[in-house]
Structures are given as structure tokens and as C-alpha cells.
């Protein structure tokens, strides 16, 4: 198992649309293990494969929220089947947008179809923070970042901050 480098914005690779998983093979299992190691090392609660440069429809999640725990959970080729009309607002952050946090409104509940790590089809309902996290990660699979839900002005402010931080970091190395 390997901790991989997380791609940070603004990097055009984060805009790539991920391809479905066809083969449930050892390469996929290694990818999933590496994704968990990378997410835990960061630390984070969710990670999509594109964030480590692999444009495949794979997500790992492990959330501890109050008394509840979701995960470790592997979502392969996830598809949102139903979204609630009721919305919920949560502060979101992202390993690909370090130290940036913004409240985003999303459907409070979703019903999701996905393949688990063993290749079994699962249909499951998620709500609140779990729904938000999964929707955030699925956005990555479509080449979308949480800042893409903001106005152009707010999004550009955040992306300029990240570009500046990257330039400063390179200059000090």
C-alpha cells in the first residue's frame, strides 16, 4: 500500500471526467488500498481516484460524525438514483483545495447505486453529512469541484489563493 500524491487545484487533471470500472481485478484492489492510505494520511473523510491522478469512477469514504460512523466504504461506478427536494447546508472542504472551506447546499438525502469492493451491486440511502460527502466525491468523478457551486467571483478568489500558495511553496523549495 502506498500513500499517493493528492492533486491540488488549479490543476486541469481535476477537470477530467472519470471512466467506469470494467474489471474488478487486483489493480483495482491495490488502487482502493492506496486511496484509503492516502485519505487517512492527509487526513480526510473522502477521496476520489481522480484526486490522485487516476480517472476511474472509484471513491473511498470513512466518516466519523458524532456517534455515527460511515465506512470504510468503497463506491465503484456510483450512480445517484434519487435526490430529495429537501436541502441541507454543510461546510465543505477538499483535499484538492487545501485549507478552503465553504458552505454548500445540496440535497439532504440521496439514494445511490454502486458496486462494492467485492463487485456486488448495492442500492443504499444516505442522508445529511454522509449524503453531502458522497455528492462531493461524485462531483469529482464528473470533473467538478465544490467551488464550482459558487459564484464565479468567489470561485476565482479561492483559486487565486491556491495558485499564490503554490507559487510561494515552489519559491521556498
Catalytic residue among 86, 103, 105, 137: 137
Per-residue cell: 150: 459558487
CA distances from 153 to 9, 144, 157 (A): 16, 17, 6
Name every residue whose Cβ is closer than 8 Å to that of residue 20 and which is 6 or more positions away in sequence: 56, 57, 77
Distance CA 143, CA 149 (A): 12
Nearest CA-CA partner of 67 in 129, 116, 122, 125: 129
143 backbone φψ class: left, alpha, beta (φ>0; ψ -120 to 50): left
Listed in sequence order, the residues at least 6 apart from 97 whose beta carbon sits closer than 8 Å to its beta carbon are 8, 9, 145, 146, 147, 158, 162
Whether 123 is catalytic is no
Positions marked active-site = 137
Amino acid at each position: 500500500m502506498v500513500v499517493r500524491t493528492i492533486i491540488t487545484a488549479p490543476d486541469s487533471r481535476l477537470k477530467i471526467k472519470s471512466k467506469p470500472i470494467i474489471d474488478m481485478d487486483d489493480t483495482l484492489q491495490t488502487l482502493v488500498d492506496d486511496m484509503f492510505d492516502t485519505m487517512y494520511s492527509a487526513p480526510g473523510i473522502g477521496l476520489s481516484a481522480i484526486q490522485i491522478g487516476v480517472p476511474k469512477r472509484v471513491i473511498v469514504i470513512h466518516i466519523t460524525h458524532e456517534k455515527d460512523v460511515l465506512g470504510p466504504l468503497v463506491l465503484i461506478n456510483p450512480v445517484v438514483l434519487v435526490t430529495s427536494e429537501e436541502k441541507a447546508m454543510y461546510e465543505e472542504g477538499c483535499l484538492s483545495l487545501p485549507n478552503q472551506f465553504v458552505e454548500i447546499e445540496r440535497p439532504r438525502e440521496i439514494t445511490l447505486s454502486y458496486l462494492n469492493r467485492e463487485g456486488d451491486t448495492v442500492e443504499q440511502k444516505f442522508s445529511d453529512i454522509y449524503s453531502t460527502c458522497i455528492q462531493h466525491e461524485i462531483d469529482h468523478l464528473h470533473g467538478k469541484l465544490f467551488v464550482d457551486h459558487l459564484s464565479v467571483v468567489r470561485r476565482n478568489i479561492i483559486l487565486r489563493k491556491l495558485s499564490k500558495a503554490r507559487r510561494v511553496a515552489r519559491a521556498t523549495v
